[in-house]
A and B are shown apart, each in its own frame.
Chain A
Amino acid sequence: NAGVTQTPKFRILKIGQSMTLQCAQDMNHNYMYWYRQDPGMGLKLIYYSVGAGITDKGEVPNGYNVSRSTTEDFPLRLELAAPSQTSVYFCASSYSDTNFYGYTFGSGTRLTVV
């Protein structure tokens, strides 16, 4: 069971370039999330999705876009990369029934914009 898979692991972008960070989960979780992590700042929610075809903004959505065409995949798109987007990006997924089991995180994508 792979869990949450993120690709690539590392990427260097030039200012103004665009890229897509991939995230896939094989646990049939309906909820998926994108976070960015900056040193000493914890995890900030960028976008989230409660199911295929439904996405919503989190705390820091500017400069990013997402789509959720399937339950498994939740790609994050960066258009016109800026140095402020240098960060480590984590994708996560979750589900809940009568209990809440927390998030399963991917291993992250370290992005540097130069």
Chain B
Amino acid sequence: GQQLNQSPQSMFIQEGEDVSMNCTSSSIFNTWLWYKQEPGEGPVLLIALYKAGELTSNGRLTAQFGITRKDSFLNISASIPSDVGIYFCAGRQGGSEKLVFGKGTKLTVNP
């Protein structure tokens, strides 16, 4: 099936550092979403992107829909301990309701 290549697989950073992660595919997507999963919980939607080139922020989080429509990026500025979790990208093609998920980026923030 379809796959999204998400990198890095894990990150260990110091509090206050900025974080970047990305998701790429060989296929075109018309919607990109970024989710965060905290331990013992389900993923929660952070940002949804609907147009190529779109740049959207949610507090310290900024995500971009790549121009080629085959990639997306998530940046977290000035990380804090509560940013810890697994971040998933997800893409939607055409009119399908089914999402394709990346394997996640596990973020650890050291105080």
Contact B48 A102 (CB under 8 A): yes
Contact call B41/A107, Cβ cutoff below 8 A:
yes
Please name all residues of chain B whose beta carbon is closer than 8 Å to the beta carbon of A40 when the two chains form the complex: 9, 103-104
Chain B residues lying within 8 Å of A101, measured Cβ to Cβ, are: 48
Complex CA gap A100/B45 in Å reads 12
Give the interface size bracket for B toward A.
20 to 34
User: Bound complex: CA of A33 vs CA of B100, how far in Å?
Assistant: 13
CA distance A58 to B92 in the complex (A): 15
Q: Is the CB of A50 within 8 A of B97?
A: yes
Size of the A side of the interface (Cβ < 8 Å), in residues, is: 26
- Can you offer 15 A-B residue contacts whose CB atoms are under 8 A? A33-B98, A41-B103, A43-B88, A48-B97, A50-B97, A58-B98, A94-B97, A96-B97, A99-B50, A100-B92, A101-B48, A102-B45, A102-B48, A104-B45, A107-B41
Binding site for A on B (CB under 8 A): 1, 6, 9, 31, 33, 35, 40-45, 48, 50, 88, 90, 92, 97-99, 101-104
